[in-house]
Amino acid sequence: MPHLLRKTLPTLILALSGGVALDAAAASISRLTPPSELFASGEADPVVARFLPGQLFDLQATVQPDPGQTIRSFTFYVDGDFVRRKDGTLSNVTETGPAETCIDAQSGKTKGASGCTLVAGLPANTAVISQRGYSNAKPGVHELKVIARQYDGKEISAVGNFEIVGIDKGEGAVAKNIIVLLGDGMGAAHRTAGRIMAKGYAQGKAKGKLAMDTFPYTGMVMTASLNSIVTDSAPGMQNYVTGNKANNNEEGVFPDDTLNAFDNPRVEYLSEYLHNLQGKALGVITTADVFDATPASNGVHTSARGNGTGIVDQFLDDRHLTGLSVLMGGGRKWFLPNESNSVSPQPANGSQRRKANDYVLPSDVVAGWGAAPGKLDPERDLIADFQTAGFKYAPDKSALDELFKRGVPDQLLGLFAYSNMNVAYDKIAGRRGDGTVVDEFGFPDQPMLDEMTDAALKVLSKNPNGFVAMIEGASIDKQAHLMDSDRWPLEVIEFDRAVAVAKAFAEKNPDTLVIVTADHECSGAAIIGASVKTAADLEANPALGKDAVGVYEAAKFPKYTIAEDGYPTTTNVDHKMLIGYGANADRYETWLPNAFPTKDTQQPFPPSESPANPSVRNEGVGFLVVGQVAGDQAVHTGTDIPLSAFGQGASLFHGVFDNTDVMFKIGQAAVGGVQ
């Protein structure tokens, strides 16, 4: 049954002078965690940090002592009471010795068990003080205070606040199973484009709806991260399943002032919370590399979303905290052993495991969270370790099908590509007999997302306590970044077919809540009209594309023929739907599909036929569309995105709400119930 070491330990991390010139600034506390507006500005509202009753989170402060002084001890207080450890002692460290010592980056020296360093620019002797794994069950807003004491006896203090959001018990039936379907980057325009292509319109009426369109409740979600109105995918996902804002690029943590990517103050995920409280299992299913921001932001704690080796290792090592039972997607490159610890030249097996992006946790995190300590081990065979832990492994669709012929496994690992899986446009072409792209990538037998979803739900359903599943259509975002207007609409269709599988499961299992949403909008996509040129005209002379956009009534209603497999026979139809972008980089446009997808830099062996980027794709053939942003890709936007809900607890999801609100709505549905 689920268990969690609810032991809280304090830590003092000191930045010694090491020859650095002393800063004359007065003693102060420059950061107090969890973040609060009360600490930042003195205003009590809005309350930034919110938690479910009993949800774990770390307390931390960055303390800058007077010149020549060091920090001797500290104490955290909540509502005026000492924060005590489970052994009854106070949250302080005295001159008997800190748990760890950290030298600041300016000194160029490192010490201590974790070998950590503080960020540059902090005054000499700055201390980062932590108490790990705190929780509070009392609903309401609470005052958080920290007092740090210098060796000369001077006290330095700061005040912030946080809220415990109560759960109303006995409100009705609870949601046993939680399915979150995340269309990465999928804004309203992406959903609409998928509907136009898959269903068609007749005299202004949609001839059918997407599965996600049939959900009875829809709201709009505000998507900002902790440090920007425009989020990236890491906080875009984790804000949903921690109830708290994170900085861009950070997963399951609050920001801090150390450089160690895995020692940041943690906050408990929905998966961890419900596994500890109810014994639920976790499934993570994606068409991306499984280390990617969205999948990792459901059970991995790091401030660096790119640290792939440590991320995938943490999936397995901390499965006792999350209940991980299913992990499927791409990303085999992180699981294969790399004895050389080098990717130059690239190992023949495609491995990109490196010590540089692996993890070892500080001792206080291990003790306070019951987490695995980690190890720098690029030579690790992680697939074998998953199998030793009881996971059945499928490297392709045929193997996945064969596994289920022998019965539904208890745990499942599927890795179907070195990095991100091929997109639906190219996988479908392969199934129809044109394996040009998938063969070149080396993975011609990949499952579709609906097939992965069906397999995952069968495995997760074996847990009598229910499950949390995150199912991601990842390349809606990735192809929107690349402004590939033929490929991302098929990603929406593939994702919606997975939505249909989840809805059918919920209809058979009415104690299931299904949510369909996105982490953010990508590219500022807009349906601007349809081509007034035929496909043959554009193929014969791509330069005609500049004058091809038919707007208003000239757009009419594009017609796509849908094959029995559920996808259009071709996207290159007469009078095809045309997409514009409001957050675009430069690109050369022809309105024609490209034979190969634009280069995916995460692939260890990218095909040479892939165009390098949109700024050179179709150069010399198409017309130049000048973008608004630097670089060669479109970017995320701060636009609100739709969320649709079905099943037990769906009625909670309506109106306009923040992405962090979703955690508390799910908590009410899963723990308190909904009428």
Other C-beta atoms closer than 10 Å to the C-beta of 496 total 26
Q: Where are the alpha helices (DSSP H) in 549-626?
A: none
> Which CATH number goes with the domain that contains 141?
2.60.40.10
pTM for the whole thing? 0.94
Residue 20 — pLDDT band, cuts 50, 70, 90?
A: very low
447 Cβ neighbours under 8 A, 6+ residues apart: 396, 397, 400, 414, 416, 455
**Residue where a domain stops, chosen among 143, 164, 185:** 164
Domain check: are 103 and 223 in the same one? no
Two tokens, residue 45: 């509202």
Lowest mean pLDDT across 94-103, 117-126, 134-143, 393-402 = 94-103
62 shares its domain with 149 = yes
Q: Band of the pLDDT at 9, cuts 50, 70, 90?
A: low
Q: Residue 588: phi, psi to the nearest 5?
A: -100, 125
Residues 446, 322 share a domain: yes
Split into its structural domains, the chain has a count of 2
For residue 607, give the 3-state DSSP assignment: coil
Q: What is the pLDDT of residues 511-556, one digit of tens each?
A: 999 999 999 999 999 999 999 999 999 999 998 888 999 999 999 9
Whether residue 187 has pLDDT greater than 60: yes
How far, in Å, are 232, 347, 487, 602, 605 from residue 517 at the CA level?
15, 38, 20, 25, 32
Token pair for residue 266? 């943690």
The answer to whether residue 169 is domain-embedded is: no
Assess if residue 607 is contained within a domain: no
Name the token pair of 428: 């479908």
Q: Is 99 helix (H, G, I), strand (E, B) or coil?
A: coil
Contact partners, residue 132, CB within 8 Å, separation at least 6: 8, 9, 10, 11, 58, 266, 364, 365, 367, 368, 369
For residue 520, what pLDDT is reported? 98
Kindly write down the DSSP assignment for every residue of 47-70, as one continuous string.
---EE-TT--EEEEEEEEPPTT--
pLDDT at position 120 is 85
192-238 confidence digits (pLDDT tens):
999 999 999 999 999 999 999 999 999 999 999 999 999 999 999 99
Residue 401 CA, chain-centre distance (Å), reads 28
User: How large is the average pLDDT for residues 574-598?
Assistant: 97
pLDDT digits (tens, 9 = 90+) for 355-377: 999 999 988 899 999 999 999 99
Question: Do residue 217 and residue 83 come from a single domain?
Answer: no
Domain that holds residue 348: 177-524+636-672
Domain co-membership, 324 together with 412 = yes
> Is residue 342 in a domain?
yes
Phi, psi values for residue 627, rounded to 5°: -95, 175
Residues 225 and 371 occupy one common structural domain: yes
User: Considering the domain boundaries, does residue 600 fall inside one?
Assistant: no
Among residues 125, 142, 164, the one where a domain terminates is 164
Q: What is the dihedral of CA 233, 236, 237, 241, to 10 degrees?
A: 160
Boundary (domain end) residue, out of 164, 191, 221: 164
Tell me the pLDDT of the chain averaged across its residues. Answer: 92
Give residue 455's identity as a one-letter amino acid code. Answer: A
What is the rounded average pLDDT of the residues 177-196? 98
Report pLDDT digits (tens) over 54-86. Answer: 999 999 999 999 998 988 888 999 999 998 764
Q: What is the DSSP string of 463-483?
A: -TT-EEEEEEETHHHHHHHTT
Same-domain check for residues 444 and 497: yes
- The helix or strand, by DSSP H or E, that contains position 366, with its residue range, turns out to be helix 363-369
Quote the CA–CA distance of 120 and 111 in Å, as a whole number.
16
Regarding whether 462 and 369 lie in a shared domain, the answer is yes
Q: Tell me if 616 is assigned to some domain.
A: no
CATH number for the domain spanning 343: value is 3.40.720.10
Shared-domain flag, residues 194 and 223: yes
| Dihedral sign, Cα of residue 179, residue 183, residue 184, residue 187 | negative
Determine, yes or no, domain membership for 1: no
Secondary structure element (H or E) that encloses residue 197, with its range:
helix 188-199
Indicate whether 13 pLDDT > 60: no
Q: In the 8-state DSSP scheme, what is residue 141?
A: E
Q: Are residues 418 and 349 part of one domain?
A: yes
What average pLDDT does range 321-342 have in this prediction? 98
DSSP 619: T
CA 639, CA 478: separation in Å to the nearest integer? 17
Which residue shows structure tokens 């792209």? 437
Any domain includes 628 = no
In this structure, are 113 and 195 located in the same domain?
no
Tell me the angle at which helices 449-460 and 487-508 cross, rounded to the nearest 10 degrees.
30
Q: Is the pLDDT confidence value at 21 over 60?
A: no
In a domain, 53, yes or no: yes
Give the integer Cα–Cα distance in Å for 217 and 160. Answer: 36
| Amino acid letter, 243 | G
Q: 502 by DSSP, 3-state: which?
A: helix
Measured distance CA(338)–CA(488) in Å, rounded? 34
| Domain match, 160 and 181 both | no
DSSP for 387-456 reads HHTT-EEESSHHHHHHHHHT---SSEEEE-SSSSPPPHHHHHHHHTT--HHHHHHT---PPPHHHHHHHH
